[in-house]
């Protein structure tokens, strides 16, 4: 079965033009980029059995085509996602449950109970990159997605980049992300488009954070918790999350073993932001979360942790 390997990065809306003008795209992109409008309908059971088991099922309306896609949970390491994926072309935008492999579904789930849950509607610009890495050539698809997730009358904006590895070593995705982050404010994100839709219907999901690592040396888990706290604070205006944000960043500085000076600078910047008056604190913290310096620091750290773990 095909396996998808990708790195997802959040992009502040005011950085979209900066990305389009990036020297990396000019240097490594092949043909001109392709622009498409994508409308996706996600399906789940009324009890959200698919989501509970880390499975995403959608129908994508792409031009004159309808594509049914099933993705399993897979694994995530520092932001790099690896998961199994199946696709089927459909003649109409109706779910074809008979095509779904039983082994990929939750035990006992009746596919006939699957119904539309929410939609994502966005414009996608795709570049195909021939990216040099360690004397090799990695083939990477870079997409910029801009739009929104919708559930009834609620919506959540989408502005993100996906780097999908088509051929080459996974480490190339981190190197490409690091080079991009040197020019554009990017941040590794754990939030999929499907999760955006589920959060709209159940906002409390944004507070479901991974547990703090009980191992002092588990910097990867600590980094993932920091990413989750940032995403939670971006979605819900809860000052109570700020203490967890500072604690997670401090724990990362103490356990990472990489870039301690840069993480120390970020910890001081966050501490200064938290001293601001209540009326302006959130805007200052959001500016820090979406800053180019923090994004580059965390991408560089994620790359170091991934390579160190592989070497070990």
Q: How far apart are CA 163 and CA 266, in angstroms?
A: 26
**pLDDT in the model for residue 213:** 66
pTM of the model: 0.88
**pLDDT in the model for residue 267:** 97
Using a 10 angstrom Cβ sphere, with 0-12 exposed, 13-18 middle and 19 or more buried, the burial of residue 69 is middle
**pLDDT in the model for residue 170:** 92
Name the residue among 160, 159, 172 with its Cα closest to residue 129: 172
Residues of the chain with pLDDT under 50: none
**pLDDT in the model for residue 134:** 92
Q: What are phi and psi of 306, to 5 degrees?
A: -65, -45
**pLDDT in the model for residue 30:** 87
CATH of 3-197, one of 1.10.8.100, 3.30.2320.20, 2.40.320.10, 3.40.50.11540: 2.40.320.10
| Domain ranges (residues) in the chain | 3-197, 209-311
Query: Which residues is 155 bridged to in the sheet?
Result: 150
Side-chain-side CA neighbours of 61 within 13 Å: the count stands at 12
**pLDDT in the model for residue 216:** 56
């Amino acid at each position: 079965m095909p396996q998808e390997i990708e790195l997802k990065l959040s992009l502040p809306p005011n950085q979209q033009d900066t990305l389009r003008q990036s020297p990396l795209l000019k240097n490594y992109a092949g043909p001109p980029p392709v622009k498409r409008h994508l409308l996706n309908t996600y399906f789940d059971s009324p009890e959200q059995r698919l989501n509970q088991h880390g499975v995403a099922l959608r129908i994508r309306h792409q031009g004159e085509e309808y594509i049914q896609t099933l993705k399993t949970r897979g694994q995530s390491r520092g932001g790099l996602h690896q998961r199994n994926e199946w696709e089927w072309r459909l003649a109409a935008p109706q779910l074809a449950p008979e095509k779904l492999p039983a082994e990929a579904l939750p035990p006992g789930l009746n596919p006939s109970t699957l119904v539309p849950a929410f939609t994502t509607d966005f414009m996608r610009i795709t570049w195909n990159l021939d990216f040099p890495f360690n004397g090799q050539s990695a083939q990477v698809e870079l997409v910029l997605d801009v739009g929104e997730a919708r559930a009834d009358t609620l919506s959540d904006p989408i502005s993100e980049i996906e780097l999908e590895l088509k051929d080459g070593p996974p480490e190339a995705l981190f190197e490409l992300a690091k080079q991009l982050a040197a020019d554009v404010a990017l941040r590794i994100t754990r939030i999929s488009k499907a999760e955006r839709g589920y959060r709209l219907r159940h906002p409390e999901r944004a507070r479901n954070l991974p547990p703090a690592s009980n191992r002092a040396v588990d910097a990867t888990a600590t980094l993932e918790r920091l990413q989750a706290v940032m995403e939670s604070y971006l979605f819900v205006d809860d000052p109570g999350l700020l203490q967890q944000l500072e604690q997670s960043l401090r724990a990362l500085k103490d356990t990472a073993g990489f870039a301690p000076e840069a993480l120390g600078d970020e910890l001081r910047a966050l501490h200064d932001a938290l001293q601001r008056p209540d009326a302006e604190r959130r805007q200052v913290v959001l500016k820090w979360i979406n800053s180019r310096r923090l994004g580059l620091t965390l991408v560089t750290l994620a790359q170091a942790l991934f390579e160190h773990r592989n070497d070990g």
